[in-house]
Amino acid sequence: MSTKIIYRTLLVLNNVIGLFFLGLIFLGTPNINEEALNHVSEGQALLKQFLYVFTVSITFSVLSLLLSFIFKRKLSLTPTYLKRLFLIQSISFILVYVIIYIYMSIKFS
């Protein structure tokens, strides 16, 4: 099996797992128990969600960067490629969250 195929498959797998963790944000709703009694304003909830998205984004971008460092010599990846990969990964996770959040807020408001 080619090294490039393995590398790209692992990157796709990393992105799928990262998108799964982003999707977990939209599954959580408070039930009728103690969670519902803790009133959190929409601003605080949005800030907590964005902090979670930022954490997931940075975590999976660093994992992609580490994966790229492992395959750096075999695929001759340049430092500019690694910088772009990190930025594109980080920004894309945040943009996916923003797009889904806007869609959900329009659909359910």
Residue type, 70: I
User: Per-residue pLDDT averaged across 53-80, rounded?
Assistant: 91
How far from each other are the two terminal CA atoms of the chain, in whole angstroms? 50
Work out the pLDDT band at 36, boundaries 50, 70, 90.
Answer: low
Total number of domains constituting the chain: 1
What is each CA distance from 95 to 15, 71, 89, in whole angstroms?
A: 14, 27, 10
Q: Which domain holds residue 23?
A: 3-107
Q: What is the pLDDT of residue 107?
A: 85
pLDDT reported for residue 37 = 53
